[in-house]
Amino acid sequence: MSARTVLLASPRSFCAGVERAITIVERLLDRAGPPVYVYHHIVHNLHVIERLRGKGAVFVDDVDEVPDGATLVFSAHGVAPAVGSRARGRGLDPVDATCPLVAKVHSEVHRALKEDRHVILIGHDGHDESDGVRGIDPERVTLVESTADVEELDLAGRDLAYACQTTLSQTESAGIIAALKQRYPDIEDPPSEDICYATTNRQNALSAVLAEADFALIVGSRYSSNTTRLWELARELNVEARLIEDSGDIEPDWLDNKDKVALTAGASAPSELVDGVIERLAELGPIRVEERTTAVETMEFHLPGSLR
């Protein structure tokens, strides 16, 4: 039996923003002891959440669930200003783990609103990040998810700007941006790219190995936007793909007649989950792992001053 080739895409797994957010919670647990309360899931990965929960993190969906005097962390996806105001109004002193690249989008939206522009946010309804951005001013930030949504807009005569959720697919956002510019030629671009470097790098790395693959495994949680975009990318390139939480999800018959398997993980998925998938594939038959690197990531984000 010839060895199956596993084409390991790089970069993959944790990005700098995810590492920063998780480290914030871990340091608070080490210094203050449990419980540490976190508004929403700190990052979108079930393995990470269960590990932190085991250390004493408590994840809540409402500031009112947090006891007086407790430590509260805002997740990597950012929160609406009203959430911060409510927390401080209760005497809580929240620690902000918002990814700096998400915070950049918040700053851009605040600036556009101060210039009296209406902001069109390209993103996914119900995602924590988009909810946080929309919450800056729900009356003047309008969400669109598709080119069809653009056609439904009625914003003629207004000064406009657009922003993007940081975890979108490049092709998905490009089509919507083109539709916006066709309908509203004077719409203002963001000062710099909103889709984050890690999202783009993981999509580019996967694209490079998909060119050779006849099957793909995408490691990460289904409620992770950037992970789902990787699965969608494989489907767009006509490569059969499965999105899995971990190696336990793999069905042996998926691999029937699959000689080259692309393997990657979303930016919120721990690297050890990928190691576990490789081990599982090796149990199912001989493999040869070939890592393909399309970019080297050196980005680091500082922790809040009180935790350095």
Residue 225 marked ligand-binding = yes
Residue 106 marked ligand-binding = no
What is the set of active-site residues?
A: 129
Residue 164 marked ligand-binding = no
Residue 271 marked ligand-binding = no
d(CA 107, CA 295): 28
Look up residue 63 and give its two tokens. Answer: 């500031």
Look up residue 81 and give its two tokens. Answer: 């200003």
> Is the Cβ–Cβ distance between 25 and 73 less than 8 Å?
yes
Which residues on adjacent β-strands are paired with residue 291? 8
Residue 226 marked ligand-binding = yes
d(CA 32, CA 307): 11
> Is the Cβ–Cβ distance between 166 and 100 less than 8 Å?
no
Look up residue 244 and give its two tokens. Answer: 């899995």
List, in sequence order, every beta strand (DSSP E) within the chain.
4-10, 36-39, 57-60, 71-74, 95-96, 118-122, 141-144, 160-164, 215-219, 241-244, 260-265, 287-293
Annotated binding site for isopentenyl diphosphate: 44, 77, 127, 224-226, 268
- As annotated, the binding site for [4Fe-4S] cluster includes 15, 99, 196
Report the binding-site residues. Answer: 15, 44, 77, 99, 127, 166, 196, 224-226, 268
- Positions at the binding site for dimethylallyl diphosphate: 44, 77, 127, 224-226, 268
